[in-house]
Amino acid sequence: MKIALAQQNYHIGNFESNINKIIQGIEEAKQQGADIVVFSELSICGYPPRDFLEFNDFINKCYDGIERIKQHADTIAVIVGSPARNPIREGKDLFNAAFFLNGQQVKAEIHKTCLPTYDVFDENRYFEPAYEWQTIEFKGKRIALTVCEDIWNLGDNPIYRICPMDILMAQQPDVMINISASPFDYTHDEDRKAIVKANVQKYKIPMFYCNAVGSQTEIVFDGASLVFDKDANLCAKLPMFKEAVETITLNDNGTIDAPIIETADRIADHELNPPALDEFLNIAQIHDALVTGIRDYFKKMGFTKAILGSSGGIDSAVTLALACEALGNGNVRAVLMPSPYSTDHSVNDAVQLSNNLNNPYDIIRINEIYETFLATLKPIFGDLPFSLAEENTQSRTRGNLLMAISNKFGYILLNTSNKSELATGYGTLYGDMAGGLGVLGDCYKLQVYTLAQYINRHKEIIPENIIYKAPSAELRPNQKDSDSLPDYSVLDKILYQYIERRMGPVEIKAMGFDAAVVDRTLKLVNTNEYKRNQFCPIIRVSPKAFGVGRRVPIVGKYLS
């Protein structure tokens, strides 16, 4: 039996585009001689549809899509993902379903059992878990068809009471097929291989795993669909961050007619959970995810041009380089806005960067605007000493100018704040925290430096002076980030333990970090949730990003 995996980039709610893309994938699979073509989870409507699922019209369009697609399931079987109505009055109104189409009919409808409701997932809000489990017979083989999370309920601490494959094994399936919308993070490629390997080793049958690709606002899907033989060897892997249709032959004896890429003994047995921040870990994947996130956000929103504030610092430099790669150099406008406290070398570095990238840039000095603000506020500020108010006025002036240009010419403003700054509140609301998309908001400062080195891997794009000078907001004379924050080599490692690994202060101090620095850092994180709550969407690249995947109270008192 020849099984094609079609990892495609869908657009949530864009039914015409999604359905046409699926039909095109069916035709390509037919040309490859496939017996079955497999598409990813909720492929008809795109993942995650969230509260669109509450609209009856949205669900009707999903069913209309199935009607159109099944007409092409004539000489080939098609597996597509879509919400399905629950005919039973009790429980949620919908299932997260996989439809098996053949002979221009719906031959089977398989419902997802394990509904993730953690991190970026909220499926229990919308879907009812499956209450019956059946294999699908096709061309002499029994197929155990599951949906995404259904294969992840293994290990010594399962979070669901039912494991669908345990039930399906009583029906003696010959192959497992899993359709997924499994988001990227820089640990997840290894995680997926480990979990598929664990399933194959437990059930002793091969698995075909089809994942989505492309970005949906903050969530990036990396594809990397997999095929494992019955001995848990990796026999096929589709590319990361690219659409692809690939057909692999499943032999009658359960072997895979494809060369082994990676043997079972070389694949990790457990999910990757780095015990400490490793700023070099999968940096190429992070780079590709960020480029994908920028490109898809603009394409799916119908925008083509970006704008950002270019300060001569590392964050804006990396953001500018990523945006130019995603959108084209001519479509990214950098605006340099030196204040009375900006150094000449920062302006020169920013100019050199734009010259290296060949992107348009402007220089708008804000001295006069800033002085006008101070003169206007003088009757109220009186003779009070210079403080954060004056620093933030500079930042908000820049934000105002960027938004004015954005409005005038139809740009999307890219925010350049990194995760270390967002964690500690080191940013100005309505100033340098303004923007339509947070490019680096899930990258710690140490990772931003590593990204800069990766961007320069072939030639110098980001001037070395930007990479090696001490970071500064340049909002007062001789200012350095280290005046307000612990050194990033310490700060980022503490933040990682608290945010990604959810370690408490006692555990973090036991790792050897200074107790006062730990207490101060965790207090900064928790007291600045109000800022992050007003921030733009962040491209997610880590296992725990700020935004929809991390929900903590604004007015909580814990560690604050």
pLDDT tens digits, 127-150: 999 999 999 999 999 999 999 999
Element (H, E) at 246: strand 244-249
Residue among 70, 112, 419, 445 flagged as catalytic: 112
Inter-residue contact 300 to 294 (CB < 8 Å)? no
pLDDT at 477: 84
Structure tokens at 219: 């969530």
Q: Name the nearest CA neighbour of 228 among 203, 264, 202.
A: 264
The beta-strand segments (E) located in 439-497 are: none
What are the residues facing 2 on neighbouring strands? Answer: 249
Inter-residue contact 38 to 79 (CB < 8 Å)? yes
For residue 362, count other CB atoms closer than 10 A to its CB.
14
Structure tokens at 299: 């394409």
DSSP state of 347: H
Q: Average pLDDT of 545-556?
A: 95
Known catalytic membership, residue 523: no
DSSP state of 129: P
Helix boundaries (H) for 302-387: 314-327, 344-357, 367-381
Distance spanning both ends of the chain, measured CA to CA: 60
Please give the annotated binding residues, written as ranges: 118, 182, 309-316, 392, 416, 421, 531
Contacts of 393 (CB under 8 A, 6+ apart): 370, 373, 374, 377
Distance CA 459, CA 145 (A): 47
DSSP state of 127: B
Known catalytic membership, residue 41: yes
Known catalytic membership, residue 148: yes
Q: Average pLDDT of 51-57?
A: 98
Q: Name the nearest CA neighbour of 126 among 69, 195, 45, 191.
A: 45
pLDDT at 484: 83
DSSP state of 169: G
Per-residue pLDDT at 328 exceeds 90: yes
Please give the annotated binding residues for L-glutamine, written as ranges: 118, 182
Dihedral class, residue 441 (left if φ above 0, else alpha if ψ from -120 to 50, else beta)? alpha
Q: pLDDT of 504-526, one tens digit each? A: 999 999 999 999 999 999 999 99
Residue among 41, 123, 149, 500 flagged as catalytic: 41
Which DSSP string corresponds to 4-69?
Answer: EEEE----TT-HHHHHHHHHHHHHHHHHTT-SEEE--TTTTT-S--GGGGG-HHHHHHHHHHHHHH
Q: In which band, very low, low, confident or very high, does the pLDDT at 294 lie, cut at 50, 70 and 90?
A: very high
Inter-residue contact 100 to 107 (CB < 8 Å)? yes
pLDDT at 352: 97
Please give the annotated binding residues for ATP, written as ranges: 309-316, 416
Q: Average pLDDT of 235-264?
A: 96
DSSP state of 282: T
Distance CA 158, CA 365 (A): 58
Inter-residue contact 256 to 5 (CB < 8 Å)? no
Q: Average pLDDT of 171-190?
A: 98
Inter-residue contact 183 to 545 (CB < 8 Å)? no
Rounded to 10 deg, the angle between the 515-527 and 488-499 helix axes is: 60
Q: What percent of the chain has pLDDT over 90?
A: 94
DSSP state of 179: E
Contacts of 302 (CB under 8 A, 6+ apart): none
Please give the annotated binding residues for deamido-NAD(+), written as ranges: 392, 421, 531
Q: In which band, very low, low, confident or very high, does the pLDDT at 342 lie, cut at 50, 70 and 90?
A: confident
Does residue 275 have a cis peptide bond before it, meaning omega lies within 30 degrees of 0?
Answer: no
Q: What percent of the chain has pLDDT over 70?
A: 100
Chain mean pLDDT for the chain:
96
pLDDT at 6: 98
Domains of the chain by range and CATH? 2-266 (3.60.110.10), 283-481 (3.40.50.620)
Q: pLDDT of 470-506, one tens digit each? A: 888 777 787 788 788 999 999 999 999 999 999 999 9
Distance CA 279, CA 451 (A): 9
pLDDT at 308: 98
Distance CA 52, CA 59 (A): 9
CA 350 to chain centre: 28
For residue 286, count other CB atoms closer than 10 A to its CB.
24
Residue 255: is it exposed, middle or buried by C-beta count within 10 angstroms (0-12/13-18/19+)? middle
Per-residue pLDDT at 200 exceeds 80: yes
Per-residue pLDDT at 77 exceeds 80: yes
- Match 């899993």 to its residue by tokens: 178
Distance CA 83, CA 93 (A): 10
Residue among 45, 114, 148, 210 flagged as catalytic: 148
Distance CA 226, CA 207 (A): 8
Burial 216-236 (b: 16+ CB within 10 A, else e): bbbbbbbbbbbbbbbbbbbbb
Give me the count of residues in the chain: 560
pTM of the full structure: 0.96
pLDDT at 483: 81
